[in-house]
Amino acid sequence: MGTISTAAEGTVEQDRRWCRAAVLRLVEEVKIRHHLLTDKITKNTAVWKDVAAAVSEELSGVSGAQCNQKWRNLKLQCKKFVDHSKTTLLQLLDKIKHHLLGNDWIQLKAC
């Protein structure tokens, strides 16, 4: 869980530390809802709120906006490593998850 810090303006911000389990949960939840996030009709804000609700089991108090930002950061980092092959981002993330965890998803439940 994150720590509370006071910003220069006097407001209190939550400093979130994304543990491995929270990041992997984010990847899973985005994969499940990918069709909604790429749909032009569905509002992404509502989808990110649902993603945050699921991820909050691993990282309490996380918001939809924070999940969205983390996902965008992950995409940018992954794109740096994807060459000109036909591997999609979701396939790459599946490979990364499999490499890190194998088939043992349960071992990373504690943050």
Q: Within a domain: residue 11?
A: no
Range of 96's domain?
20-108
Answer whether residue 12 is part of any domain: no
Q: Is residue 85 part of a domain?
A: yes
Cα atoms in the Cβ-side hemisphere of radius 13 Å centred on 36: 15
pLDDT beyond 90 at 29: yes
Q: For residue 34, which amino acid is it? A: H
Q: Which residue has the higher pLDDT, 8 or 48?
A: 48
Total count of domains within the chain:
1
Contacts of residues 101-105 at CB distance under 8 Å and 24 or more positions apart, as own/partner, are 101/24, 105/24
73 domain residue, yes or no:
yes
Averaged pLDDT of the chain:
76
Task: Give the pLDDT of residue 94.
Answer: 74
Instruction: Summarize the confidence of residues 44-57 as an average pLDDT.
Output: 96
